[in-house]
Structure formats: structure tokens, C-alpha cells
Structure 1
């Protein structure tokens, strides 16, 4: 199959999406992606009451479909989206879990439609709404918003978390080759051993779990009263996908903008499948961007390994139970680094695109959303509550558009000092 072809490379400097290391090394990198996404992907179904194994299976299938739809050019893992926790909780409480799944199907279908439009007519209309100052702010606030999560997990066991984090830093600073590539995975193993020796790992669930078994599939129902509560989530998922594509482009030096439409379509298809079978909405994962930033390996081959492994883990409760025993302290050590790297990628988007922060429009477009995201401001609309990532993303777009529109309307009433920045914004 032509799509499953990569150029073998031996260099440790940077591995592009169409390249791969040796298969043993590629499998190792794929396992790191599994470790990075696992905690968050499992957390969403735990919080919403959906079956974790089902979510994991559809997460893996969604990732494989993403790679196929994007022609195996765009590295990404599709994990569970945190943006849907609030509407799922509200829908489940009022209409039942099946109605929440119907809401996910609607979200996915709308994402597919938006992706098709982007692919057919280009990204200019999206870029006019979400230029680098906006996408950089969204990527940065996604990483920084997760800082309290990392702190909470870190605080669960400061010693295990510190050992894990220090091991990661030391590995990346001093080791090259395979040891350097496996820094995240090996750091988790070391942290896990420390946590196990300290009695912080609960292994009771492992003995009761079966080796093989199908996940618990569920079917959706559709309620007109529930569907509107899910629609605002689409904006967040579109922003996350655009932010992911921009981030990968910044890291690899390749222009992936033509793949934005395919990425959105892929996420929509994966979300529809999840809603039809009892999984969750998917999104491109910040955790896995962090893995790529740390390892400099962007090969899609590693994501094929991760996607297939995720499906197998969903069908093997015993193995899933083992991975699920990774304690919060160990995850806290890893996420402290990974979430920070995501935040820095947002800053890199600003720097690489030479965003002029002497302009008030750029200052406020970045400043206000960052505070909203870091402080985790919430917006309550009836029974639905949107957290800091959603509120910050919406604010970044709204502030930019409002200031730009008001600037153009008053252009004839101001001097050259304002007209020049506005002209540069138009270009």
C-alpha cells in the first residue's frame, strides 16, 4: 500500500513525517505516544461515565483514519477532547448518556462539513479570523491552562514526580541515539519503579482484568433539546486542529496549511464514529505535540504504531489495567514538561511569524486569552459551562476581529500612526 511508505533515516537530528528510524526505534517512539496520551484519554470517559476501553478503541481507530485522510503526511494522535466534558455531563443528566452520544455525532458531522469547505475553498477565510497572533495564543493557553492539572498530579507524590521529571531532563540533556529518543518512556518506567517501591501503585485491578475482551459499545439518540449545547464545542475543536497543524509546521519547517481541511475532516469522522459506538469526541493531542518537541521525531510511522497499539489495548483489559496503574505522581512529572513545551510552541508561532507586539491589537489578542486560559475562567450558559481553553480560544478570535473591524471603521478618522499598522494587518 503506497501510503505506508517512509524513507529510512539514521540521523538523530530531526526525523520528518515522511521518514522513519529503524522499526525498533520507531516502535519505541510509538510507545512514548501511548504513554503521553493514555492518562488524559482515559480521564475523559472516567469523568463522563463512558466506558474507557471503548474510548481507547475509537481513539486508536480515529488516529489511523486521521493518518489515512491526511495522506500519511501529518503526524497526530486523536485523543479524548476535554471540551465536551461539560455538555456531555449536562446532556447525560437531562436526557441520558445516549443523547450525549447524539450530540457528539452532531459535533463530528459539523466538523466534517467545515473541513470540506476549508479543503475546497482554501484556508484564507479561516486565516483572516485566526492569524498567527490568534493561533499562537490558542496553542500557548492550551498548554498553560493544563498547568494546574500537572501541579495536582505532581502534588500527589512529589518524590516520584521529581524523579520522573529529573530523569526526563537528564536523558534529553546527556543522551543521544536510542536513549535520547526513549527519554519520556524510560523516565516513566523509572518513575513507576520508584512509585511501586513506595507503595503508590494499586495493582489490585490487574488481577481481576481479563486478557481479552470486547469493549462496551453503545448507541446514540438525538434530542433537539441537547444538540444546541454541543455546537459551541465545534469552535474549540477547529481551533485545536488549526493550532496543531500550525505547531507541526513550526516544528518541522514544513507548510502544512493545505492539510488543515483534511485534519478537521479527520477529527470530525473520528468524533462521529466515537458518538455512534460509545466513545468520546476526539481532538489532536497537546501531549503528543510535547513528545514530538522533546524527541524531534515527527514520523507518522510512530503514530501508526500508537494507533494500532491503542486499539489492541482497548481489546486487552489486562494490559490496559497495567497502564492505568501509572500513578498520578509519575504522570505529574511528565506532564509538567510536556504541557510547558506546548505553551512554548505557541510563543514560537509568534516569534517565527514576527508578530508585532507593539500593536495594541496583537497585545490584547494575546494578553487577555492567556489570562483567561491560565486562570481557567469559566463561562456559564444555562446548564453548560465552558472552561478556560474554550473561553480563551473564543476570546482570542473575538478580540482580534472586533479590534480589526473597529480599526477599519475609524481608519478615515485617525492619523497615519494608526493607518500604517492597520495596513500591515490587512497584508
Structure 2
């Protein structure tokens, strides 16, 4: 397979024949390929700019570096893994914790840069020892629990910061988003979060025209009179300009809060590679380590200039599944569009004006979905929660993570929330497994304990909102 610009024309360049697919090293006509690239941009768009908004980062920069990260990923994987790298939602809870600790955007991006470097190092280990190392260290019971506590740890952010800003807009936005996710089909269902944002934007505009200003808390602060939708910054913004860049700063406490998310990112990348492999018919286990390394390195590139962490996007897998077009040429086009969008400050000002009530309605759905994806990993892998070896460390770790339980180590250092919950699940599971009797390690259907996946067996699910 050729890298970058060596695509072969598929058939007559119009559309795949019935039962055929457009492979990663093929393309349709350039007009259709550019159109598919634009479709990929729309699919990734909602989560890619929602993530930085929720984390207090520049959405223009996030969109622009997502394009750069995607190009880097395609080059690093030799064009074999068609993927879009957008902003990772897995760090929204991390951002909230770091902000509560007094950290700023530079502190956040510094911690994410370290996570990216660790992820790249993990990818190198996987590439050297094979994909089995992932399943040994991070079996589905562990990854499911970590994903669950990352999602549910965000509940106070939705309930305490966004929802109170405009409860009725939040409620309407929540119902519309839920309706879009369930009722819409195909491509439209995959951009339901984006449609929910547009709907909430319009509702806020109409409520301002009808009822005037609202008196409510802003950003978790005191109640003040304010417009639900304030577009004053849009008129002042330029049409063309560079997004705001900033250098990262490093704090040990912030880094320790962010590091557990590495577990979720490895699971996301493993699931993505397996999904693409099944769709394209190209065995990609030999590229799993490279894909993880590339995602980690792309995160380092993004955070080094003030952008968010990146991850492979399931939304774009959905586009490929619907169109049966896996051409990496479409992803190059998508990356080009994203870079151009990032160079438009007026676009960023429109995003920054998203009302808090709208984010409240979106986040109660989105955060819950992230948490329940952990349960989906358990179900998909037939994890037996009647087995105390699985149940005990997960029960303790999830409650610690969701409840933001803290463990004070010294006067200046403590672990809590996501970090402590992840350590309890990871160390607890492997520690208990080392001491557990054989009938708990290898339960048989005959004793009523259903199948338990051993290390070396996995089927990570990739149907997350972003990876």
C-alpha cells in the first residue's frame, strides 16, 4: 500500500459495486472524495469542538490540530488504518478536577501531554510484545470499570455547572438529543449530539427574544442577569486568523489525575483497530502498537501548542460503515477542511457562545453514555459480575471514582476520584487474582459462574461517542 498520494481509482470512480468496498489505498473521483471528506468533518465536528469547550480550551485550535493529528496518524500507519483523530472526551472529568484544584489551561494541557507520551510508550511496548500484552494487563473487567468511572465522575459537572444556568433549555435540549439519537437513522443519527447543540442554540435565541434575560448562576458562580445566547463576541471576531496558542505547564498532582485515562485510550485504540480490520478485511494486529503510538504522539503534538488530547473517532467509523468507502484520501480531505475551519476566529466565537443550559442538556446524555459504555464492554465480553474476583475491585473502584473519594498521602499530595478509583480497580483485580483460588480464576459454566474471559482474550467495543 502506498502512503499519502498513491491511491488507485476504484472502478469508474462513481460508487462501489454491490458487495464491493473502496479500500484504504483506493479512491472514488476527486469530487466524490472531497464530498466524503466534508461528510467526515460533519461527523467528527460535534464532539471535536464540544470537548475543548467543556475543558476550557480553544475550540478553533482543537479543530485545526485535529486535522494535523489526522494527517500525522495516516502517515504513521502507512495509510492502512483509515481514521480521524478528534478531541478526546475522556479528559473532560480530568479538566474539571484540575480546575477545582486551581489549575489553568496550561496545567491541563501539560498533564495531557504527559498522558500522550505515556500512551506512545505503551504503543511501543505493544508493538514490541504483541497485542496480547493489552489483554493481559487490561482485561475487559478493568477497562470497562475505568470507562464507567470516567463517565459517571462527570455527573457533578453537568448537574452543578451547566444545568442550573437554564434548566428549561437544558431539559428541552436533553429530550431533543435523546430523540435524535433514537429516531434518526444513518448519518443523521451519528451527528445527533451536533444537532442537539444546534437545537439548543435556537431555543436559547428564541427564549431571549420572548422572555428577555435570565437570572441564573454562570459557570457555577452566583446568580446574575444575563442573556442565554450572547453573540457579542462573534461580531468582533476576525474571519481569518491563527487560534490562540499556549505552552503547557506541568504539575504532578494534575498529571496523576490524568494518567488513569491512558487505560481508556488504549482500549479505544484497540477497539478502533479491530473494527477497521473487520470492515476492510485487512488483519491489523501488527499495526495496533503503531496506531497507539501514533495517537499518543499526536496528543503530544496537540497539547504542546495548547490543544486537547486526541483519539480515534467512532463517529467516522460509522460514516465508513454506511458508505463502504474506507479510502484514506477522504480523510486527507477532511483534515484539510478542519485546518481551514481552525483558521477562522469567527467560527470559534460562534462555538464559544454556546449557552450553558444547552451544554447542560447535552452533557447529561453524553456523560451518561460514556459511563454506560463501560457496562457495554462488560456485556460484549461476557464478564461475570457474580464472580467476586471481578465484582469486589470494580465495586470499590467505581464508587471511589464516582464519589470523588480522596486518599491523603502527605500534607501536599493526595489521590482521589478517577486516579484513585483506577488504581483500586487495576491493582485490586491483579492483586486478588494472584491470590484467588483456581475456581474463581477459571470458572466453568457448570458451577453457575458463566464464562470469564481470560487474559489474552478480548473483544473491545468501539461504539463510543469519541474517543
TM-score range, shorter chain: 0.7 to 0.9
Report the counterpart of residue 398 of structure 2 in structure 1. Answer: 370
Cα pair distance change 1:236/1:76, threshold 3 Å: farther
Q: Distance in 1 between matches of 2:101 and 2:308?
A: 15
1:193 aligns with 2:202: yes
User: Residue 46 of structure 2: which of 15, 24, 35 is its match?
Assistant: 35
Q: Distance in 2 between matches of 1:193 and 1:103?
A: 36
Cα pair distance change 1:259/1:338, threshold 3 Å: farther
Paired residues for 1:151-230 under 5 Å: 151=159, 152-177=161-186, 179-199=188-208, 200-218=228-246
User: Residue 399 of structure 1: which of 428, 438, 442 is its match?
Assistant: 428
Q: Distance in 2 between matches of 1:19 and 1:36?
A: 28
Paired residues for 1:47-62 under 5 Å: 53-62=60-69
Report the counterpart of residue 264 of structure 1 in structure 2. Answer: 292
Secondary structure in 2 matching 1:284: strand
When the two structures are superposed, what TM-score results if normalisation uses the length of structure 1? 0.75
For structure 2, the residue ranges without an aligned partner over 5 or more in a row are 209-227, 445-451, 457-467
Distance apart, 1:116 and its partner CA: 1.5
For the Cα contact (< 8 Å) 1:104–1:230, is it kept in 2? no
Q: Distance in 2 between matches of 1:175 and 1:78?
A: 23
Q: Distance in 2 between matches of 1:355 and 1:73?
A: 29
For structure 1, the residue ranges without an aligned partner over 5 or more in a row are none
Report the counterpart of residue 269 of structure 2 in structure 1. Answer: 245
Secondary structure in 1 matching 2:87: strand
Secondary structure in 1 matching 2:241: coil
Q: Distance in 1 between matches of 2:391 and 2:379?
A: 14
Report the counterpart of residue 364 of structure 2 in structure 1. Answer: 336
Relative to its length, the structure with more helix (as a share) is 1
Q: What do residues 319-367 of structure 1 show as CA deviations (whole Å, max 9, x unaligned)?
A: 1101111112222323333333323322222122221222211112322
When the two structures are superposed, what TM-score results if normalisation uses the length of structure 2? 0.69
Aligned length: 404
For the Cα contact (< 8 Å) 1:290–1:341, is it kept in 2? no
Paired residues for 1:6-405 under 5 Å: 24=35, 27-28=38-39, 30-46=41-57, 53-70=60-77, 71=79, 73=81, 75-79=83-87, 81-82=91-92, 83=94, 107-151=115-159, 152-177=161-186, 179-199=188-208, 200-218=228-246, 232=256, 235-248=259-272, 254=278, 258-276=286-304, 278-280=305-307, 282-284=309-311, 289=314, 307-379=335-407, 383=412, 388-405=417-434
Secondary structure in 2 matching 1:198: helix
Worse overlay, 232-241 or 128-137 = 232-241
Distance apart, 1:2 and its partner CA: 5.1
For the Cα contact (< 8 Å) 1:36–1:291, is it kept in 2? no
Q: What do residues 232-268 of structure 1 show as CA deviations (whole Å, max 9, x unaligned)?
A: 4674242121221355478779487655422331233
Q: What do residues 43-82 of structure 1 show as CA deviations (whole Å, max 9, x unaligned)?
A: 4345xxxx66545533442243234434452645342644
For the Cα contact (< 8 Å) 2:139–2:455, is it kept in 1? no
